Amino acid sequence: MNRLLQVAFAVFFALVVAAVRMPAQTFGQVTGQITDSSGAAVPDAAVTLKNTATDAVRQTVSTASGDYSFPSLPPGTYSIAAEKQGFKKSESSNITVQVQQTVRLDLTLAVGQVTESVVVNASAVALQAENATVGTVVENKRIVELPLNGRNFLQLVALAPNVTTLSPSAGQAGARQGGDRANQSISVAGQRTMFDYFTLDGVNNTDPNFNTYVILPSIDALQEFKVQTGVYPAEFGHNATQINVSTKSGGNQFHGALFEFLRNDVLDARPYSFTSRPQNKSPFKWNQFGFELDGPVIIPKLFNGKDKLFFLGNYEAFRRRQNFQSSPYTVPTPAMFNGDFSALPRTIYDPANQHNPFPGNRIPTSRFDPISVKLLPYYPSANIASLSNNFVRSTSAPINKDVFVLRMDYVESAKSQWAGRYSWGDENQSNQGISLDGTKILTNVEEYMGSNTRMLSPNMVNEARYGYTRFFNSIGTFLAFQTDVVSQIGIPGLNPGDPVQWGIPNVTLANGYSGFGDGTEGPYANDNNTMQLSDNLSIVKGKHTFRFGGEYRRDNYNQVGNQFARGQFTFQPNATQSLSSTGGDSFAEFLLGTMYQSEAAVAIANAKFQRNVWSFYIDDSWKVTSKLTLSLGLRYEITPPFNDTLYNAFSVYMPYFDFTPRVADPARHPQFVRQAPCTDVYYQIPIRWPDINTNCSGVLGGRLVRTD
C-alpha cells in the first residue's frame, strides 16, 4: 500500500511541478514552407498538426515567407493540413517524427475552394536535410523484434555507425560499483566509455560516479532512442556522446502485452565430455516476465471521455538462479581444526617453550586463541581426503531485478500538453565465496519527470521540464546489512562500523592454504541524486526559427567506503618454527593467535559532494533558401568541481611550477589548503609535512580545485 501511495503521489507531483518554467532531448520537429502552384510563398496560411494516436492538435500560421514550424513534438505519427481562403486544402498523413528528428514537409496549395482538398500520403522516409546532426534512431520495431540477450536495449547502440560495445569497462567501476552498469562499454568515435550522457524523456539519466545509466526501462516501455555522435545543436551539452531515450505514451486505443522468457537446465545441452561418462548439467534457471498496458483514462465528468488523459504502465522482473562448481581450495583437515597436525610432514613448535615441538604434533585446544575460535565457523575444513586441493563446493550467484514505469500524458488543450513519469528499479545480486564470504551488490533507483509544452502564440512555443533522479548502489560483502561479525568475535580496537561495512575480517595464511574472509576492498556505497530544471523557448520569425533556453542541475554525490574496513590479519610460519627456521605452520599460528601482521582502517571514508551546474544556449535555424538552411548556435556551460559539504577535505597547493633550486622564498613553498577554518590547518589530521607553508591561505577555495 505504501508503494502504491508513493507511485500515485509521484505522478501527481511530476504533473504539477512542471508548471514551473523548466532540454528537449527526446522531442522532434515538423517544419516546411507553404507555396502556391507557381512556387510563390503563401503567408498567413492556417496549418494544423494532429497526433494520430491521441488526436492532440497543434496549430500555427505561416510567416510572411510562407514558412511554418512545429517544435517540441513527442515522437509519433502525425497528419498535417494547410488551408487558406481561395485555395484548396492540402493534407498529408502518416508523417513519422522520431527522437530529435526535424522533418521537412513542404505543402503546395492549389487554387480552389477550401472545401476541396488534396491529400498526400507521406509514408516515405524523409531525408534529414534541416540540420547537420549526426546520429542514429533505433525505433520501437527494432527494439522489440531484434534478439536481445537479457532484453537490454543498449546492446542495439552498436547499430549506429562509429559506435563499438567491445571496449573495456570504465576504470574502477567493477570494484566500486559492480553489476551490469559497471560492464557497460559504449565507446563512440574512439572516446572513453565514461564520456556517455544518458537521458530518459529529456531529463538526466546519468549517475555522476562513473557516468553510467540510472534507470534501464523494459523494452516494452520504449518508443525509441537515438545515439548522437556529434555535430548536434548547442541545446545539447554535458558529454561528447548523447544516448537519448523516449518512453511510449498511451493513445485512444488500448494496447497490452503479457510475457515471460524462460531458460533452464532442462532446455540446455549437456557439457561436452572427454570420457564415455556424460557430464551432469549445472542447475540453471532464467526467468524474465512482466506486462505492459497503455491506453486512455476514461473519466467522462473530468476529461470528456477521450482525447485527454492517457497512461502507460510497465513492469518487468528478472530472476536468475545458477550454481557454479568452484575451483578446488586448499584448507586444513578436520583433524587440524582440533589441533591435530600429526598428518602434516612439518613439525609444529611451541612458541611458549623456546620452540619445543608439541607432543605428537598436536596443539591442545586449551591453547587456542578465543578470537580464532570464534572465526573458525567462517573457514571450512577439507571435504576431500588430501592435504591439498581438498575442498570443493558448489556456489550460487542469484540475481534479482525489478523495474516499473508509469507514464501519464494529459492534453489540456490545443495550446497545452503535459507529461509525467515515475520510474523505479531494484536490483540485487550476490556471489558466495569459500564460506559465508563473497560479494553482494544492492541497487535501488527512482526517477521523476514532469513536462509542459505550451503554445504562447501561433509562432511561439515554450517547453518546461523537471527531473529528479535518485541512485543508491552498494558493493560490499555477502553479509553486509545482515551479520555484524566484527562485534561477534570482538577483535580489540576494530570498529564494526555501519551495516554497510559488516562482513568477515580477512585472514591470510601461508603454506599454500587458501585464506578466508572478505576481501580488503570496499565497501563502496553511493547514495546520489540529481535535480534538474530546464526551459526551452522556440520562436518562428520569418525565415528564422530561434530556440533558446537554459538548464540548472544540482548533483549530490555521496559515498562511503575504502579499503581494510574489516581489517586484514596475516599469519606465517614464524613463531611455530624451530630456532633454525624449520617446520612451523601458518594455520597452527592462527589457532594459537600468534599473528604476523595486521592492517585496519580507523574508519571508512565519508564524502558528501555537491555541485551546481548551469548552462545557457541559443540556436538559430535560418532557411536562407528552400535548399539551404544554416544551423547556428552558441552554448555556455559551467560544471564546477564538487564541493565537500562536510568541510574536511584538504590538499597541498603548489603556487607554480619551478624547477630551479629552491630559495628562501615562502611564496615558492607548497601551501597546505583546507576547507575548514584556518584556526588549525592540521585539525584531526595525524600527519605533518616539513617545509610547507601552513598559513591556510585558501587560494583554492572550498572545492580545493580551480574551476576551469
Instruction: Give residue 10's pLDDT.
Output: 45
Please, are residues 646 and 558 in contact by the beta-carbon 8 Å criterion? no
- pLDDT bin (cut points 50, 70, 90) of residue 96 is confident
Instruction: Give residue 22's pLDDT.
Output: 35
Q: Which of 222, 247, 272 corresponds to the end of one domain? A: 247
Cα–Cα distance measured from residue 57 to residue 51, given in angstroms and rounded to the nearest whole number: 7
Looking at residues 471-497, what average pLDDT do you find? 92
- pLDDT bin (cut points 50, 70, 90) of residue 661 is low
* Same domain flag for 115 and 166: no
Instruction: Give residue 74's pLDDT.
Output: 86
Instruction: Give residue 361's pLDDT.
Output: 95
Asked if residue 43 belongs to a domain, the reply is: yes
The total number of structural domains that make up the chain: 3
Asked if residue 572 belongs to a domain, the reply is: no
CATH number of domain containing 90? 2.60.40.1120
* Same domain flag for 98 and 199: no
Which residues contact residue 275 at a Cβ distance below 8 angstroms, ignoring those fewer than 6 apart?
A: none
> What is the average pLDDT value for the chain, to the nearest integer?
85
* Same domain flag for 70 and 148: no
- Using one digit for the tens of pLDDT, what is the confidence trace for 231-275? 778 888 787 788 889 999 998 899 999 999 999 988 888 877 776
Cα–Cα distance measured from residue 226 to residue 101, given in angstroms and rounded to the nearest whole number: 10
* Residue recorded with cell 539551404: 628
Say which residue, 508 or 86, is predicted with more confidence. Answer: 508
- pLDDT at residue 663 is higher than 80: no
Q: Which of 80, 97, 121 corresponds to the end of one domain? A: 121
Asked if residue 581 belongs to a domain, the reply is: no
Q: Which of 247, 269, 291 corresponds to the end of one domain? A: 247
Q: What are phi and psi of 348, to 5 degrees?
A: -100, 120
- pLDDT bin (cut points 50, 70, 90) of residue 445 is very high
Lowest mean pLDDT among 87-91, 416-420, 471-475: 87-91
Closest of 595, 547, 533 to residue 568, by C-alpha: 595
Instruction: Give residue 395's pLDDT.
Output: 83
* Same domain flag for 210 and 145: yes
User: Mapping DSSP to helix (H, G, I), strand (E, B) and coil, where does residue 145 land?
Assistant: helix
**End-to-end alpha carbon distance in the chain:** 48
Please, are residues 103 and 52 in contact by the beta-carbon 8 Å criterion? no
* Residue recorded with cell 512542471: 18
* Same domain flag for 138 and 114: no
* Same domain flag for 95 and 27: yes
Instruction: Give residue 587's pLDDT.
Output: 96
Which residues contact residue 254 at a Cβ distance below 8 angstroms, ignoring those fewer than 6 apart?
A: 293, 294, 295, 296
Asked if residue 60 belongs to a domain, the reply is: yes
Identify the domain containing residue 72 by its residue range. 23-121
Cα–Cα distance measured from residue 292 to residue 309, given in angstroms and rounded to the nearest whole number: 17
Please, are residues 229 and 241 in contact by the beta-carbon 8 Å criterion? yes
Asked if residue 322 belongs to a domain, the reply is: no
Instruction: Give residue 657's pLDDT.
Output: 53
- pLDDT at residue 15 is higher than 50: no
- pLDDT at residue 71 is higher than 70: yes
178-181 contact pairs (CB < 8 A, 24+): 178/439, 178/441, 178/473, 178/475, 179/427, 179/429, 179/441, 179/443, 179/473, 179/475, 180/152, 180/216, 181/207, 181/210, 181/212, 181/213, 181/443, 181/473
116 to 57, 80, 113: CA distances (angstroms): 21, 15, 5
CATH number of domain containing 174? 2.170.130.10
As a dihedral over the C-alpha atoms of residue 262, residue 263, residue 267, residue 270, rounded to 10 degrees, the angle is 180
415 to 59, 114, 410, 418, 450: CA distances (angstroms): 8, 24, 12, 11, 17
Asked if residue 428 belongs to a domain, the reply is: no
Q: Where is mean pLDDT largest: 321-325, 432-436, 485-489?
A: 485-489
* Same domain flag for 654 and 695: yes
Report DSSP letters for 535-568, one per residue.
EEEEEEETTEEEEEEEEEEEEEEEEE--S-SS-E
Cα–Cα distance measured from residue 241 to residue 165, given in angstroms and rounded to the nearest whole number: 14
Q: Where is mean pLDDT largest: 24-38, 143-157, 423-437?
A: 423-437
- Using one digit for the tens of pLDDT, what is the confidence trace for 182-205? 888 888 888 888 888 899 998 999
* Same domain flag for 101 and 149: no
What does the angle CA 207 – CA 208 – CA 214 come to, to the nearest 5 degrees? 0
Instruction: Give residue 29's pLDDT.
Output: 87
Say which residue, 661 or 347, is predicted with more confidence. Answer: 347
**CA-CA-CA-CA torsion sign (366, 371, 374, 378):** negative
Closest of 600, 439, 398 to residue 523, by C-alpha: 439
* Same domain flag for 102 and 159: no
Looking at residues 268-296, what average pLDDT do you find? 84
- pLDDT bin (cut points 50, 70, 90) of residue 18 is very low
* Same domain flag for 116 and 149: no
Q: How many residues does the chain have?
A: 708
* Same domain flag for 221 and 153: yes
* Same domain flag for 112 and 48: yes
Cα–Cα distance measured from residue 480 to residue 657, given in angstroms and rounded to the nearest whole number: 46
Instruction: Enumerate helices (H) and strands (E) in the chain, giving the number of each.
Output: 9, 36
Cα–Cα distance measured from residue 503 to residue 378, given in angstroms and rounded to the nearest whole number: 11
- Using one digit for the tens of pLDDT, what is the confidence trace for 561-591? 888 889 999 999 999 998 888 999 999 999 9
SS3 content of the chain, % helix, strand, coil (to 5): 10, 45, 45
Asked if residue 493 belongs to a domain, the reply is: no
Asked if residue 671 belongs to a domain, the reply is: yes
